[in-house]
Structure 1
Amino acid sequence: MKYLLLLALLAGVFFIARRGRPNEPEAPKPQPPAPPQTMLRCAECGMHLPADEALPGRGGVFCSAAHRASFEARQGQA
């Protein structure tokens, strides 16, 4: 009878200890998608690129410094 009482007591302690602890760690919450960006067209090659990556210049926006220089050099000749 003593062993049955001891076993019931140990089971109760184990049950209480497990109840206070979560079984699985919480999964990280997914990040919301980024908002859409405005797309701009390179004045030299016509490629579309996000506004935050565009390089401003005389005559429009450009996808690279080389295209900006090429476009401005052509405009200076005319």
Structure 2
Amino acid sequence: MALIISDDCINCDVCEPECPNGAISQGEDIYVINPSLCTECVGHHDKPQCMEVCPVDCIDKDPDVVEDKDSLYKKYLKLTS
């Protein structure tokens, strides 16, 4: 699955620089995650770094974008080639 940021986001700016794929950007009201770029840090880190640094725990798996670890790794390879 890709990740999604909920409306609980406080726009603290800590998640964006942690994303190794550049999947996080400022949206109209809160930060957003581009699911085509999100690999949940597979290939880069053991855990999603945005979730690790979020002070309000507003980042979770996106139920509308279901991907397994193998799919995420293939996406990582495509993004880094």
TM range (shorter): under 0.3
Identify which of structures 1 and 2 has the higher relative contact order when contacts are C-alpha pairs closer than 8 Å and 6+ apart.
2
Structure index of larger Rg:
1
The structure in which a higher percent of residues are helix is 1
Scaled by the length of structure 1, the TM-score of the pair is 0.23
